């Protein structure tokens, strides 16, 4: 028999679930999200890379094999300084497997702008702890590039929704796409970062996240921990949002481009 004390609460919950969503609220969210997307989409670029990968395992080596890829980057300074996930340039940064090593040589980097312009660039800073890499044009752009203002940042709480911007691949005409992500957890230690919901969206590593007020929350990267004592990759690697404050601190350390190849 149902507990009579719970009946009023259950009836209230049923009424809330049955109530229609007010269309005005949905429209307001859409309008705000679209405004954030349109204001910031030019700050999200494609970074074209050419990698030469040599793999060593059990005393045997293979390669180098050349791989071309396109990854998402976020311009954080009008000079063209662009942040992206280090793991998208160097997947070996996520793994620490005994007897296995991967050497990656980055032989070519270009920033592909919205109008199709290819800007030769190079990696000027790597931060393995934050999974961040910064690339900078080899020559100063003729005009300042649209950039995210990392100083205008915001924080988020569990279940908050944020707008993310991504630039899609060649098959989709490299058009910009928006997604809605929900914060599923906020981690405070060893440092602050946000964990997005695991629902599949168009968001890629290197994509920026914004609040509905238009302030930047951070950038999507990967976080990996040592797999010692655990055979589950899922428990050791996860997608996170690095806060804008941490990105800004790292960006201030990024040197000028020097030219040449980098290993």
Predicted confidence band of residue 261 (pLDDT cuts 50, 70, 90): very low
pLDDT of 121 > 80? The answer is yes
Predicted pLDDT of residue 103: 80
- Do 51 and 143 have their domain in common? yes
pLDDT of 98 > 50? The answer is yes
User: Could you tell me the residue range of the domain that residue 69 belongs to?
Assistant: 42-147
Q: Identify the residue with better confidence: 102 or 48.
A: 48
Q: Identify the residue with better confidence: 72 or 24.
A: 72
- Residue 114 neighbours by CB under 8 Å, 6+ apart: 41, 42, 45, 176
pLDDT of 40 > 80? The answer is yes
Question: 198 vs 179, 182, 214, 240, 244, CA distance in Å?
Answer: 13, 9, 23, 10, 21
What is the spatial distance between Cα 131 and Cα 14, in angstroms, rounded to a whole number?
45
- Do 77 and 138 have their domain in common? yes
Q: What is the CATH number of the domain that holds 206?
A: 2.40.10.10
- Do 115 and 153 have their domain in common? no
- Do 134 and 164 have their domain in common? no
Residue 254 within any structural domain of the chain: no
Handedness of CA 89, 93, 97, 100 (dihedral sign): positive
pLDDT of 230 > 60? The answer is no
Predicted pLDDT of residue 22: 56
What is the spatial distance between Cα 89 and Cα 150, in angstroms, rounded to a whole number?
22
Number of domains in the chain: 2
- Do 85 and 142 have their domain in common? yes
Q: Which of 112, 147, 182 is the last residue of a domain?
A: 147
Residue 29 within any structural domain of the chain: no
Residue 53 within any structural domain of the chain: yes
Q: What percent of the chain has pLDDT over 90?
A: 59
Give pLDDT tens digits for 69-81. Answer: 999 999 999 999 9
Average pLDDT, the chain: 85
- Residue 122 neighbours by CB under 8 Å, 6+ apart: 109, 135, 136, 138, 257, 258, 259, 260, 262
Task: Summarize the confidence of residues 235-247 as an average pLDDT.
Answer: 91
- Do 91 and 115 have their domain in common? yes
Give pLDDT tens digits for 148-199. Answer: 999 999 999 999 999 999 999 989 999 999 999 999 999 999 899 999 998 8
Predicted confidence band of residue 54 (pLDDT cuts 50, 70, 90): confident
Predicted confidence band of residue 243 (pLDDT cuts 50, 70, 90): very high
């Amino acid at each position: 028999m149902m507990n009579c004390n719970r009946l009023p609460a259950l009836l209230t919950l049923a009424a809330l679930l049955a109530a229609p969503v007010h269309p005005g609220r949905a429209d307001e969210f859409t309008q705000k999200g679209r405004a954030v997307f349109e204001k910031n989409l030019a700050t999200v670029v494609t970074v074209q890379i050419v990698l030469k990968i040599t793999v060593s395992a059990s005393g045997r080596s293979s390669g180098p094999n050349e791989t071309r890829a396109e990854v998402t980057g976020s311009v954080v300074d009008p000079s063209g300084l662009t942040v992206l996930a280090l793991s998208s340039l160097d997947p070996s940064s996520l793994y620490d497997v005994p007897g296995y090593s991967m050497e990656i040589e980055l032989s070519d980097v270009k920033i592909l702008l919205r109008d199709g312009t290819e800007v030769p660039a190079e990696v000027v800073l790597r931060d393995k702890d934050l999974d961040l890499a910064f690339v900078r044009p080899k020559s100063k752009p003729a005009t300042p590039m649209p950039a995210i203002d990392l100083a205008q940042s915001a924080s988020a709480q569990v279940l908050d929704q944020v707008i993310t911007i991504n630039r899609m691949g060649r098959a989709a005409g490299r058009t910009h796409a928006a997604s809605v992500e929900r914060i599923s957890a906020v981690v405070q230690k060893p440092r602050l970062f946000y964990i997005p919901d695991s629902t599949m969206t168009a968001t890629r590593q290197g994509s920026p996240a914004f609040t509905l007020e238009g302030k930047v929350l951070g950038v999507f990267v990967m976080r990996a921990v040592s797999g010692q004592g655990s055979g589950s990759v899922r428990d050791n690697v996860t997608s996170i949002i690095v806060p804008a404050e941490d990105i800004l601190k790292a960006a201030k350390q990024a040197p000028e481009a020097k030219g040449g190849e980098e290993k």
